[in-house]
Amino acid sequence: MQFPPATASLMPFAGNYATTASPGLLKLACTLWLAGVAMRMTLLVMPPVIPLVHEDLHMSETQIGLLIGLPLAVFAVTSVPASLLIARIGASLALILGMVVTAVTGGARAASSDVWTLYLTSIATGVGISIMQPAMPTVVREWLPNRIAFGTIAYSAGMVIGATLPPVLTIPLVLPWLGGSWRLDLAFWAVPAILIVPIFLALRPQVRDRDQDRRAIQAGIGGRWWPEWRNPLVWLLGLTFGSNNSPYYVTNAFLGDYLASFGRSDLLAPALGWLNGSQVLALVFLVAVGGRIQRRAWPFLVFGPLLLLAFLGVILVPTGPVIIVAAAIVGFTCAVTMTAALALPALLVAPGDVSRTAAGMFTISYTSAIIVPTICGALWDATGKPWTAFAPLCISALGLTVLGAFAARYRSHTEKARG
């Protein structure tokens, strides 16, 4: 398959924004886009080289599974401490720190002498990403309080490109150029990740951020950082986002073995290509709809059922064309609903509560992303029927539909204040 070129033309700076966006607004969107790329690029470097790592470090299948699951566990555990860091030093500085940690430790994985040092550097990489995740919606709220959907689309587009480039380019281009070395490959992708940092520093709104960072530092420990776990909105957002990312991670994890179970391993490359490449196509759609996803239920009511339909196709009609189409639908629907869900914390809560609400949302969602794949694998092992691994994802699709629609229509803090 041919993918659209992963270039700046995919950034959300067109469509209904083209005639209204000022140069300053486009500069902020470019800055957010770059941060989104940095947040996902080093994470998705590992899957294409896992066979090489497996052979070189003599890893078992269980160790490989743990390597994939470690970043998700780190996201769940460290999101709340990241919120404290944001309360102390400000969202922009925390975001920069997260970029540096992610890029440096992501590259450091190349020097791993054994599986344990690989685990250690992978955990450190996950910590850097977990700092960035709650910082991003906070920065969007600070920089673009009146264009939150636009800012969210900008950094979500960066996340999609960052997640797409390594899987698409590593095997056909980068690895042959580097002599098939997985170590050089990890170091290669760390270079653009670290180069983003000085560009981000040059583009960010300096004066405004200094004022915001100074106020955050003065607030210190008194700043609100601990998620309000008794607030139903935190759980609603967390479960909504968990219903979004669980299907994506599970599909990536189990699709290969599922195809192999009925002798169609030849479909893995095109299926994974469409699973990830369709997210790039989703960016075009997001540019077209623009602000019309802001606090709207329709993205969840439309794309949640489509996600359910895709999994029913995988389970009931496991033929080549159906699986490839289903994979494309999973990638597309997850990309659109991810953007709609990521915008909600900044839209629904007071500015000072964005980072801690986002931290709670990520803690719950990534805990779900650990639990759901475990259940999927356990069902397969217990029944011996490969299709059962996808059955829980049907429930996730239903949850995304219902919970997302409720979350989008939840009363915001300003609406509650007005009575």
Note the pLDDT tens digit of each residue in 109-152: 999 989 899 989 989 998 999 899 888 888 888 888 888 778 88
Longest dimension (CA), the chain: 65
Query: Please, what sign has the CA dihedral across residues 32, 33, 34, 40?
Result: positive
CATH, residue 255: 1.20.1250.20
Give the whole-angstrom CA distance, residue 80 versus residue 64.
27
328 or 283: which carries more pLDDT confidence?
328
Calculate the average pLDDT of the chain. Answer: 82
Give the rounded percent of residues in the chain with a pLDDT score beyond 90.
Answer: 31
The residue-averaged pLDDT of 372-399 equals: 88
pLDDT for res 417:
63
Q: What is the pLDDT of residue 10?
A: 39
pLDDT at 15 over 50: no
d(CA 44, CA 186): 10
Mean pLDDT of 143-171: 83
Most confident of the ranges 1-10, 220-229, 290-299: 290-299
Q: Is residue 109 part of a domain?
A: yes
Per-residue pLDDT at 416: 65
Mean predicted confidence (pLDDT) in 233-248? 91
**Given a cut of 60, is residue 2 above it in pLDDT?**
no
Query: Quick one: 246 exposed, middle or buried, by C-beta within 10 A (0-12, 13-18, 19+)?
Result: buried
2, part of any domain: no
Is 89 inside a domain boundary? yes
Asked if pLDDT for residue 250 goes beyond 60, the answer is yes
DSSP element (H, E) containing 413: helix 413-418
> What angle separates helix 320-342 from helix 268-289, to the nearest 10 degrees?
40
pLDDT band for position 393 (cuts 50, 70, 90): very high
User: Does residue 221 register a pLDDT over 50?
Assistant: no
Q: Which residues of 287-320 are buried (b: 16+ CB within 10 A; e: fewer)?
A: bebbeebbbbeebbeebbebbbebbbbbbeebee
Give me the mean pLDDT over the 366-388 stretch.
83
In a domain, 212, yes or no: yes
Q: Residue 213's pLDDT is what?
A: 47
The CA distance from 181 to 379, in Å, is: 36
| Predicted confidence (pLDDT) per residue in 256-314, tens digit | 778 878 888 788 778 877 887 888 888 888 878 866 877 789 999 999 999 999 999 99
Contacts of 298 (CB under 8 A, 6+ apart): none
Q: Is the pLDDT of residue 232 over 80?
A: yes
Which tokens is 296 given?
A: 């709207």
398 has a pLDDT exceeding 80: yes
Tell me: pLDDT of 11 over 50. no
Tell me which residue range forms the domain holding 262.
8-418
Instruction: Quote the pLDDT of residue 217.
Output: 43
pLDDT class of 5 with cuts at 50, 70, 90: very low
pLDDT above 70: residue 418: no
The total number of residues written for the chain in this structure? 419
Task: For residues 259 and 323, give the distance between their C-alpha atoms in angstroms, rounded to a whole number.
Answer: 9
Number of structural domains (the chain) is: 1
Look at 67-76, 80-89, 95-104, 117-126 and tell me which has the smallest mean pLDDT.
67-76
Q: Is the pLDDT of residue 415 over 70?
A: no
Cβ burial of 202 (10 Å; 0-12, 13-18, 19+) is exposed
Q: Does 66 score more than 90 pLDDT?
A: no
Report how far residue 31's alpha carbon sits from residue 198's, in angstroms, rounded to the nearest whole number. Answer: 11
- Per-residue exposure over 29-61, b if at least 16 CB sit within 10 Å of its own CB, e if not: bbbbbbbbbbbbbbbbbbbbbeeebbeebebee
The predicted pLDDT at position 163 comes to: 81
1 found inside a domain: no
Token pair recorded at residue 7: 């270039």
**Overall average pLDDT of the 372-386 stretch:** 83
pLDDT band at 406 (very low <50, low <70, confident <90, very high): very high
pLDDT at 62: 60
pLDDT 10s digits, 383-392? 888 899 899 9
> Mean pLDDT throughout 62-68?
67
Residues 36-57 pLDDT 10s: 999 988 887 887 787 788 788 8
Return the pLDDT at 304.
95
Q: What percent of the chain has pLDDT over 70?
A: 85
